[in-house]
């Protein structure tokens, strides 16, 4: 397995990256930390804090799993119908984590909120 050789990203990084995202908030559900927009979970931290489940386009999931099997792994069978993928934190660099979080959050917020956050037009 190939893993990132720098600082391993962790829950502290996740909290820092989600802190200023509009409409995002953290909850504890059955001893699992989750990040939501409204009632939609876009990121869930495993109890051991070594992996995360995160919103990810379903149509891109198989390609990501095939391209980087040391980084990504499939969701539980009961979650395969959702736009979701599992990720090993020790295989991620900070910038990759940031991109995954922003993409997952973007899937959950209204276009206007996303456009305001990124400073683009409402149709972005």
Which CATH number belongs to the domain containing residue 77 in this structure? Answer: 3.90.1150.30
How many Cα atoms within 13 Å fall on the side-chain side of residue 41? 16
Residue 4 lies in a domain: no
Structural domain count, the chain? 1
Residue 95 lies in a domain: yes
List, for the chain, all residue ranges whose pLDDT scores fall below the cut of 70. Answer: 1-6, 121-124
pLDDT score, position 1: 44
pTM: predicted TM-score of the whole model, two decimal places:
0.90
Residue 23 lies in a domain: yes
pLDDT score, position 19: 97
Distance CA 45, CA 47 (A): 6
Supply φ then ψ for residue 40, to 5 degrees. -90, 120
**Where in the sequence is the domain holding 55, given as residue range(s)?**
11-112
Alpha helices in 1-124 (DSSP H): 11-18, 58-67, 94-106, 111-118
Residue 5 lies in a domain: no
Distance CA 11, CA 9 (A): 7
pLDDT score, position 89: 97
Residue 119 lies in a domain: no
Residue 59 lies in a domain: yes
The residue written with tokens 């962790």 in the block is: 10
Residue 1 lies in a domain: no
């Amino acid at each position: 397995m190939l893993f990132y050789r720098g600082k391993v990203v962790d829950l502290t990084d996740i909290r820092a990256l989600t802190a200023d995202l509009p409409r995002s908030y953290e909850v504890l559900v059955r001893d699992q930390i989750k990040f939501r927009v409204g009632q939609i979970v876009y990121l869930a931290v495993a109890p051991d804090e070594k992996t995360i489940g995160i919103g990810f386009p379903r149509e891109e999931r198989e390609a990501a799993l095939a391209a980087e099997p040391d980084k990504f792994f499939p969701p539980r069978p009961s979650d395969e119908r959702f736009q979701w993928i599992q990720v090993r934190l020790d295989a991620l660099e900070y910038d990759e984590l940031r991109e995954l979080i922003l993409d997952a959050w973007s899937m959950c917020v209204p276009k206007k909120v996303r456009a305001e956050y990124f400073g683009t037009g409402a149709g972005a």
